């Protein structure tokens, strides 16, 4: 009986640790993301290749942003159960949301550095880099790498609507 | 060398198309031995080491693509695309490709 608790307790402790610290880290990250989205909100971004008709544009070049984010142990644990039932994996949806918004913000950072105020043809690509080695299968959470890239321009008059 | 991911560049006109150019890198991750990543797997968050690895890989793939474009005598690469493929457990390829062209500024 004592041996059973001896095995269960470390896992419960790690879960509690992951839940609390992981939650704090995630919320802090989302707050930083929202703040930077407000700061970089004036840079227009589209996923169409053409610029607004009659725009006076100066090319700034290719801009990219990339990030690799891991989910926490608690989310992985919950998701493993959810996978048995099927349906929306809400715990991983926030992971992808974080990664996507962070990659986009880093791309906009580079655009800002190049003096651009418009990014055309924004594309996203992602891949799973987690659960590579199987030494401790349960321990390895979902990890996703996400990158965003586009072509940055400096438009003389950004006010006009997109094409 | 001008690099864009659109087919046309505002303010420039394509005078000659040189052809398809590409560059790739393959990177491997040693997750089992990466203590820092293991810790991050517990509480979640960004894996800065891997992000830097990704940035470096992307830069190298682009460089190789641009080297090919220079060999062809181009001064710009248009319609650049990136793709990632997982090759085996722990190894992934980052592939960049585009069309090498000669552009001139529009009068």
CATH number (domain holding residue A61) = 3.30.110.70
Per-block average pLDDT, block size 10, for chain A (163 residues)? 80 84 89 94 92 87 93 79 81 89 96 95 87 50 88 79 46
**Residue A137 resides in a domain:** yes
Report in angstroms the alpha-carbon separations of A6 from A44, A56, A78.
56, 70, 22
**Residue A135 resides in a domain:** yes
Percent of chain B residues topping a pLDDT of 70: 89
**Residue A96 resides in a domain:** yes
Number of domains chain A contains: 1
Q: How many CB pairs under 8 A join A and B?
A: 136
Mean pLDDT estimate for chain B: 87
Residues B61-70 pLDDT 10s: 999 999 999 9
Q: pTM for this structure?
A: 0.86
Residue A92's domain comprises 2-155
Domain ranges of chain B: 2-105
B5 vs A149: CB contact, 8 Å cut-off?
A: yes
ipTM over 0.90: no
Q: B2-105: which CATH topology?
A: Translation Initiation Factor IF3 (3.30.110)
Residues B32-78 pLDDT 10s: 546 666 677 778 888 888 888 889 989 999 999 999 999 999 999 99
Q: Which of B6, B46, B86 sits opposite A120 (nearest CB)?
A: B6
Chain A residues with CB inside 8 Å of B86's CB? Answer: 127-129
């Amino acid at each position: 009986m004592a041996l059973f608790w001896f095995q269960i307790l470390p896992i419960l402790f790690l879960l509690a640790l992951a839940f609390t610290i992981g939650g704090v880290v995630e919320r802090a990250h989302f707050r930083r993301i929202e703040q930077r989205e407000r700061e970089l909100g004036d840079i227009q971004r589209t996923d169409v290749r053409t610029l607004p008709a009659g725009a006076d544009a100066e090319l700034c070049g290719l801009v990219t942003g990339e990030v690799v984010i891991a989910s926490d142990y608690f989310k992985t644990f919950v998701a493993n159960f959810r996978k048995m039932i099927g349906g929306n994996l809400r715990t991983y949806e926030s992971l992808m949301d974080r990664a996507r918004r962070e990659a986009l913000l880093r791309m906009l950072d580079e655009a800002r550095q190049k003096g651009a105020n418009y990014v055309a043809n924004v594309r996203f690509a992602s891949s799973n880099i987690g659960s590579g080695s199987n030494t401790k299968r349960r321990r390895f959470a979902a990890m996703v790498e996400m990158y965003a890239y586009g072509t940055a321009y400096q438009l003389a008059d950004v006010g006009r609507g997109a094409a | 060398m001008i690099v864009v991911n659109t087919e046309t560049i505002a303010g420039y006109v394509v005078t000659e198309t040189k052809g398809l150019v590409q560059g790739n890198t393959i990177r491997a991750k040693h997750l089992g031995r990466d203590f820092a990543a293991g810790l991050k797997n517990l509480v979640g968050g960004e894996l800065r080491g891997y992000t830097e690895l990704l940035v470096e890989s992307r830069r190298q793939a682009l460089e190789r693509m641009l080297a090919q474009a220079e060999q062809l005598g181009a001064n710009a690469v248009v319609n650049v695309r990136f793709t990632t493929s997982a090759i085996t457990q722990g190894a992934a390829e980052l592939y960049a490709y585009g069309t090498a062209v000669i552009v001139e500024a529009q009068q």
